[in-house]
Structure 1
Amino acid sequence: LDDRYVASAKNGLRGAKITFRYPSVGATENTILAAVLAKGRTTIQNAATEPEIMDLIIMLQKMGAIIELGANRMIYIDGVKELRGIEHSILPDRNEAVSFACLAVATGGKILVKGARQADLITFLNTLRRIGGEYRVTNEGIEFWRASAKSLKPIDLETDTHPGFMTDWQQPMAVLLTQAEGTSGIHETIYEDRFGYTNDLNLMGADITVQTKCLGEIACRFKNKGFYHGAVIRGATKLRPARLTVRDLRSGIAHVIAALTADGESTIDGIEELDRGYEKIDKRLKNLGADIKRVQ
């Protein structure tokens, strides 16, 4: 058991007051799942409030849980003895919707993302429209395209907890901003080291500098800690093909969008990471007209 973590509660779990220093999605989900069958009341202070959290609460409530939402990121859970089976449809993936939206605008195409929900994407949709992207909400989902053939417009943005701009959206957005005429800035306030992929975009011809300075109007929790959590993107730059290796899931989709934006053939290694979050991505891109081939 040297390389494993083992947790046990011989007498069962009991309710508790829990305060998060930061509103983590994973921590909130796991605490809710533990609390619904614990004895007594659990109070979560500074909980995450992402749509996925709300959907989890709705599902558990259907199953017999007692969960209440309070003001200022408070969640109250009264434990129950058992849960029952139900039928529940999960939310569409917000990150997939944003990825395909960025792909449409970057390549000058038009993509309808079926099932995408405007209510879950308000902050992204505002950002996309500000830089020159456009969208139309339909009964099927949301259709995305570039508003005109002209270069996109630069923007300064910073990632934040919901309802702010998601950290998982900044990688595909960075590719778009390489095609914007002027200087853009991205201030990453969620993760301290998430700009490694910019080295790959620079290899393809982008002009991106990362720095430890806070780029937002308000200093974040990484101030003066030496973390490279700010990116300055100068554009527009013509992207060229390259051989890339996927660093993680979100940087991987940025690689794909950049490769499809560039003139010429690119090779991307380590695509099994992409498969973790984008099912049959090569087949779906082919259906959109991309010239893409998976090599075993």
Structure 2
Amino acid sequence: MDTIVITGGNVLHGEVRISGAKNSALPILASTILGGEECVINNVPQVVDVVTMGKLLRLLGAQVEHEGNRAVVRAGVIHSTQAPYELVKTMRASVLVLGPLLARWGEATVSLPGGCAIGSRPVNIHLAGLTKLGAEVSVEHGYIRARSRRLKGALIYCDVPTVTGTENLMMAACLAQGTTTIENAAKEPEIVDLADFLTKRGAKIAGAGSDIITIEGVRELRGSDHEVIPDRIEAGTYLVAGAMTKGAVVVNGCRPDHLEPVLAKLLETGVTIKVEKEAVHLDASKINRLKAVDVRTLPSPGFPTDMQAQMAALMAVAEGTSVITETVFESRFMHVEELRRMGANIRVEGNRLVITGCERLTGAPVMASDLRASAGLILAGLCADGVTEVLRVYHLDRGYERLEEKLQTLGAAIERRKA
């Protein structure tokens, strides 16, 4: 396993370009199997999860070609409707083929998902929704098995707004007979991006981005080109890096409207932010200490849970005491013990972190437990005295494209040491 090694203390400055959103590319790639014509997806990030999705689509029978940040998918013939444990265990988003396979081919067998160890994320809402659409659904020997001659539109209420659940049900409803309404739907920008792609292919979707999505089923979907939206979590990560090192960074190729909750909290810390159409300028060079702020993670349009670990690292060096409340996932505080190894003053109270900032962290060997924890530990290393070694960075490679290289362009003393 590779190790990321950081020598802290460098002030970051310069410009960095944001890659396509992993959490948008994955459902879009999964949705290509809803039709047989060629789909060309641009701005696809070159990360491990995208590679895994490509392997899964090929296993099902689709032709998938990757050319840099461009993916071409032809799903005219599918010779398998089973997503095996060997692939699904490594990436939770593999469950997104469940709805498309069932809708187009009438059956699907998908392993119960794995992925990052950030608490239980059950798929019961996916299964209840597919049952409402007329599918026969069971869970046997660790696999979800679903069958239906043709799905039929229905009213589906989600007990909680689930992103992958909303995406799975929206994709399945595209080929259902009649109209489907999803209430209490998730509102993340990635859902809007998926809906935009499906609409280009002939789907009839209204309300994506709101808590009520309506889908009028059609017989088939055609092929289309599409460009994946920029990754708002990657953009937020580099902005926090600039703030923590008291630097001045420009994040290019982003969607500032997707970053509003993060920008609002960063402004509270005392940094200066200038927003352009596709760029955000952050300047923390003129402040002595960042101010502590309270953060509460919420489903979109609230503060994203995927930025919680990065904000915890930021608050560890801010002046004062902050409270970070995690409302989306339980067990998403495994980075805390590692931050403590670096001198952070953090205590856990149920679903809250109480953080009293210190002036400097100290470098230490730390171990990443999940994708965003990896990023949080690297950010902590950027402003720590001495050397920090982040182990198990295969988590990082699931969702960040060339993170250490991009940080190097901003002046960070960071390198990857191959195992």
Provide TM-score, normalisation by structure 1: 0.90
C-alpha deviations, 1:212-258, integer Å up to 9, x for none? Answer: 2xxxxxxxxxxxxxxxx100000134100010111000000001000
Structure 1 match to 2:299: 161
Structure 1 match to 2:128: none
Q: How does 1:64-79 map to 2 (within 5 A)?
A: 64-69=202-207, 73-79=211-217
Structure 1 match to 2:166: 28
Given that 2:192 and 2:208 are in contact with CA atoms closer than 8 Å, whether structure 1 keeps it comes out as no
4+ long deviations beyond 2 Å: 1-4, 6-10
Residues 1:79 and 1:173: Cα distance change in structure 2 (over 3 Å)? same
* 1:265 equivalent in alignment to 2:390: no
Residues 1:101 and 1:71: Cα distance change in structure 2 (over 3 Å)? closer
Q: What is the alpha-carbon root mean square deviation over aligned residues? A: 1.7
Mark the runs of 5 or more structure 2 residues left unpaired by the alignment.
1-83, 85-139
C-alpha deviations, 1:21-70, integer Å up to 9, x for none? Answer: 10011100111111101111111110001111111111111110011228
Identify the match of residue 289 of structure 2 among 127, 151, 160. 151
Q: How does 1:111-260 map to 2 (within 5 A)?
A: 111-146=249-284, 148-212=286-350, 229-260=351-382
Residues 1:97 and 1:118: Cα distance change in structure 2 (over 3 Å)? same
Instruction: Using the TM superposition, give the Cα deviation of residue 139 of structure 1 relative to its aligned residue in structure 2, in angstroms.
Output: 4.6
C-alpha deviations, 1:80-120, integer Å up to 9, x for none? Answer: 01111111111100000000000000011222111111211
Given that 1:92 and 1:116 are in contact with CA atoms closer than 8 Å, whether structure 2 keeps it comes out as yes
Structure 2 match to 1:215: none
Residues 1:140 and 1:41: Cα distance change in structure 2 (over 3 Å)? closer
- Structure number with the higher strand fraction is 2
Equivalent-residue separation in structure 2 for 1:135 and 1:71 (angstroms): 26
C-alpha deviations, 1:183-223, integer Å up to 9, x for none? Answer: 100111101111111111111011000012xxxxxxxxxxx
Residues 1:70 and 1:276: Cα distance change in structure 2 (over 3 Å)? closer
C-alpha deviations, 1:250-269, integer Å up to 9, x for none? Answer: 00000100011101111111
Residues 1:239 and 1:26: Cα distance change in structure 2 (over 3 Å)? same
Q: Which one scores higher on RCO, CA 8 angstroms, separation ≥ 6?
A: 2
Structure 1 match to 2:99: none
Structure 1 match to 2:184: 46
**Matched residue SS, 2:214:** strand
* 1:11 equivalent in alignment to 2:149: yes
Specify the code of the residue in structure 2 equivalent to 1:116. C
Equivalent-residue separation in structure 2 for 1:103 and 1:133 (angstroms): 12
Residues 1:155 and 1:290: Cα distance change in structure 2 (over 3 Å)? same
Given that 2:195 and 2:208 are in contact with CA atoms closer than 8 Å, whether structure 1 keeps it comes out as no
**Matched residue SS, 1:293:** strand
**How many residues end up aligned between the 2 structures?**
280
